[in-house]
Structure formats: C-alpha cells, structure tokens
Amino acid sequence: MAEETIFSKIIRREIPADVVYQDELVTAFRDISPKAPTHVLIVPNVLIPTANDVLEAHEHALGRMFTVAAKIARAEGIAEDGYRLIVNCNKHGGQEVYHIHMHLLGGEPLGPMLSN
C-alpha cells in the first residue's frame, strides 16, 4: 500500500488549500507555487503513486481528470487561448509528490515544452 501524501489530506480537507473543484473521483486545487497565472493540480481521490501504478480500475478517475481540466480551463478563461496539461512520473520526470496529479497551466504563452 502506498503511503499517504499531503494531497490525501487536502482531498479530505484536513489541511487548507484553495480547492476549485471536488467530486467523488477527483479534487482540483491551486498550486501553492504557481508557475503560470493559472496553475491548478488535479488529483484522483484514490492514492495512485505514479503513472506506473495505474490500473484499469483507475480509468474512470483518470478520464475525469481530463474533463475537469477542460471545465476549469473554461472557468478560468484560458480554454480559448490554450493551456498545458502535465503529468510527471518519478524522479527523472520531475515528480515531487507521489500521488499522481495533473498540472493545468495557462494564462500566458508557455513557450516550448522542454528547453535545452
């Protein structure tokens, strides 16, 4: 069993966060160190440590992450100009919290995906 993360506590509302969306499958909240004018994290309510740990049983929650991202992008006024969705996996992928999560970033031109 994976260890509980800070995201688990945010999902249960045990610690404060600026939650912008929550349902039975996912929770979305603003990143405390935003990298763009809009930077929201979307997480499944069930703890899945990394993309390597995804099972068929998780497909509904992971699909919901995308529909919620689109809903939040519209609400934030960034859908038309565009936004970026990022899921990091493990150390080399830049993952810092081992509870799979999607970054929704937008509100300004984001530039190239990777720079050398």
Q: Domains in the chain, please, with CATH?
A: 6-106 (3.30.428.10)
Query: Looking at residues 67-83, what average pLDDT do you find?
Result: 98
Question: What is the percentage of the chain residues whose pLDDT exceeds 90?
Answer: 91
Residues 6+ apart with CB under 8 A from 8: 47, 99
| Tally of CB atoms within 10 A around 23 | 11
Residue 101: active-site member:
yes
- CA dist 7 and 11 (Å) reads 6
Give the 3-state secondary structure of residue 111: coil
Average pLDDT estimate for 94-102 = 96
Q: pTM value? A: 0.94
The rounded distance, in Å, linking the Cα atoms of 105 and 25 is 21
H or E element that contains 27: strand 26-30
Of the residues 60, 92, 101, 103, only one is catalytic, namely 101
Sign of CA dihedral 60, 22, 106, 101: negative
Band (pLDDT 50/70/90 cuts) for residue 2 is low
